[in-house]
């Protein structure tokens, strides 16, 4: 009986010790449910000189790991590089060097977005986020909202007083407003916001653009307000509703110098090998030359279009070269940024490192052009090497029917050039 008794005691002791070990190995309950990064939709607020800039962020757990989505109006931009370590969240913006970093406490996130800028003028934009909030600016919408839907003739006026004519296009449902602003150098992508009383609020964060707009709606229906970009740029903006508002012809903004017909280039590829417009791979081909950069959201929209276009048309005689003007003078860092850009969009066409992302410096690298005003700029070259069209800026998917028209124009141009001998 004594032997049996002590066997029972020893067995019970061992069981208690084993249970204690398992309990010690398990994470505290708070680390899983209280202090970890929770999945769901967050309302994120960036702290900018113009005030709080809101956007949506959804986090989801998939079999392969966590993913995210940036939410701006109709756009849900996939974030595939999401890392969660305990209560720490880190998201690399797709195709950019920009990074979101935050720490979770309960249903809140606190951190910053790091934006890489030219000449090391990088920005640390503070952020705060709350789980479960899905409104943009105002939780409780007003019921007597003014209507800002339609097409607008606008001006952006920089702090020196120089104006730029632009076009706004907005849709509205009750107090919710979505749309974009089209400029001669590219659109402002997907904007989302609300109207309340006599004020209009719009914002976006798409991985690079951090835009905030506020405007008063006057008694005459006009708009008068301010636009902030990130932490360092500001312009006034004014507008009048105008269904006939137009931008300059995008094919008439950039031109070749008088008497010059060919667009010659010679720049290193990502391995450092010089690639020239005279190389055999381009001889007798229709060629698109895209002047771009991995830091440029409109260039991202263009790459998302050009990558599948190249796969469809290369067997017909099309080649594409992207001359990348990056934020870095260091070749290796510029090549790494371009490689990240290539991987994100599945780019198979040639990408060359052409210089830094300063328009004046780019103009020096492209002496065949009368002037250079925008990233991206797209050059269409025929089989004989002659420049046939130059498109300034980009009309992206946020512009709706304008984008559909642009895609049709490009494919029509290629079909015509490819049919020539």
Percent of the chain clearing pLDDT 70 (strictly above): 92
Tokens describing residue 242: 């105008």
What are residue 22's phi and psi, to 5 degrees? -60, -40
Name which of 311, 320, 325 is nearest 378 in CA terms.
320
Give me the chain's average pLDDT, please: 92
CA distances to 19, 75, 217, 219, 312 from 143, rounded to whole Å, are 60, 26, 16, 18, 49
> Which DSSP symbol is given to 213?
E
Amino acid 35: pLDDT? 59
Asked whether the predicted pLDDT for residue 4 surpasses 90, the reply is no
Average pLDDT over residues 159-177: 97
Asked whether the predicted pLDDT for residue 308 surpasses 90, the reply is yes
Q: Kindly report the pTM of this predicted structure.
A: 0.90
Average pLDDT over residues 38-56: 98
- What band does 264 get if pLDDT is binned at 50, 70 and 90? very high
Asked whether the predicted pLDDT for residue 134 surpasses 50, the reply is yes
Asked whether the predicted pLDDT for residue 184 surpasses 90, the reply is yes
Amino acid 421: pLDDT? 82
Average pLDDT over residues 117-142: 96
Amino acid 143: pLDDT? 81
Q: Are strands 186-187 and 176-183 parallel, antiparallel or unpaired?
A: antiparallel
Where would I find the beta strands (DSSP E) of 132-284?
150-158, 163-173, 176-183, 186-187, 191-196, 199-205, 210-217, 223-229, 233-241, 266-268, 274-276
> Which DSSP symbol is given to 221?
S
CA distances to 35, 192, 383, 406, 407 from 401, rounded to whole Å, are 45, 18, 30, 9, 10
Q: Which residues contact 104 (CB under 8 A, 6 or more apart)?
A: 35, 36, 37, 38, 87, 88, 89
Asked whether the predicted pLDDT for residue 27 surpasses 50, the reply is no
CA–CA distance, 407 with 396 (Å, rounded to integer): 9
Quick: pLDDT tens for 94-121. Answer: 999 999 999 999 999 999 999 999 999 9
Angle, in degrees to the nearest 10, between helices 331-345 and 297-313: 60
Least confident piece of the model among 13-27, 78-92, 190-204, 373-387: 13-27
SS3 148: coil
Amino acid 29: pLDDT? 33
Amino acid 14: pLDDT? 42
Quick: pLDDT tens for 335-393. Answer: 999 999 999 999 999 999 999 999 999 999 999 999 999 999 999 999 999 999 999 99
Task: Between 114 and 5, name the one with better pLDDT.
Answer: 114
Asked whether the predicted pLDDT for residue 214 surpasses 80, the reply is yes
Average pLDDT over residues 133-145: 91
Task: Between 309 and 23, name the one with better pLDDT.
Answer: 309
Amino acid 419: pLDDT? 98
Q: Which residues contact 177 (CB under 8 A, 6 or more apart)?
A: 148, 149, 170, 171, 191, 192, 193, 194, 195, 200, 202
């Amino acid at each position: 009986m004594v032997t049996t008794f002590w066997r029972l005691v020893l067995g019970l002791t061992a069981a208690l010790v084993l249970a204690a070990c398992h309990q010690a190995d398990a994470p505290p309950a708070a680390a899983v449910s209280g202090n970890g990064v929770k999945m769901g939709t967050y309302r994120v607020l960036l702290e900018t000189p113009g005030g709080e800039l809101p956007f949506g962020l959804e986090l989801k757990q998939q079999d392969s790991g966590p993913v995210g989505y940036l939410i701006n109006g109709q756009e849900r931009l996939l974030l595939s590089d999401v890392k969660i370590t305990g209560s720490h969240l880190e998201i690399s913006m797709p195709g950019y060097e920009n990074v979101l970093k935050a720490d979770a406490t309960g249903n809140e996130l606190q951190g910053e977005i790091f934006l890489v800028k030219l000449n090391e003028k990088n920005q640390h934009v503070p952020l705060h986020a709350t789980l479960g909030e899905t409104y943009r600016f105002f939780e409780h919408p007003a019921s007597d909202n003014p209507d800002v839907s339609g097409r607008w003739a606008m001006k952006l006026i920089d702090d020196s007083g120089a104006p730029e004519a632009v076009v706004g296009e907005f849709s509205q449902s009750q107090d919710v407003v979505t749309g974009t602003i089209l400029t001669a150098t590219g659109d402002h992508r997907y904007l989302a916001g609300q109207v309340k009383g006599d004020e209009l609020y719009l914002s976006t964060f798409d991985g690079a653009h951090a835009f905030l707009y506020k405007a008063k709606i006057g008694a005459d229906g006009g708009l008068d307000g301010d636009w902030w970009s990130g932490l360092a740029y500001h312009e006034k903006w004014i507008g009048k509703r105008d269904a006939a508002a137009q931008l300059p012809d995008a094919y008439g903004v950039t031109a070749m110098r008088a008497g010059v017909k060919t667009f010659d280039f010679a720049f290193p590829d990502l391995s450092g090998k010089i690639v020239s417009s005279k190389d055999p791979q381009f001889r007798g081909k229709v060629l698109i030359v895209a002047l771009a950069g991995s830091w440029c959201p409109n260039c991202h929209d263009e790459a998302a279009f050009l990558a599948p276009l190249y796969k469809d048309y290369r067997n017909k005689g099309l080649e594409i070269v992207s001359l990348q003007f990056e934020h870095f003078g260091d070749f290796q860092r510029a090549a790494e940024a371009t490689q990240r850009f290539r991987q994100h969009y599945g780019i198979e066409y040639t990408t060359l490192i052409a210089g830094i992302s300063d328009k004046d410096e780019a103009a020096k690298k492209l002496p065949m052009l009368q002037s250079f005003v925008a990233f991206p700029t797209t050059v269409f070259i025929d089989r004989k090497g002659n420049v046939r069209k130059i498109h300034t800026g980009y009309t992206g998917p946020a512009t709706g029917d304008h984008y559909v028209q642009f895609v049709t124009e490009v494919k029509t141009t290629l079909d015509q050039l490819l049919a020539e001998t």
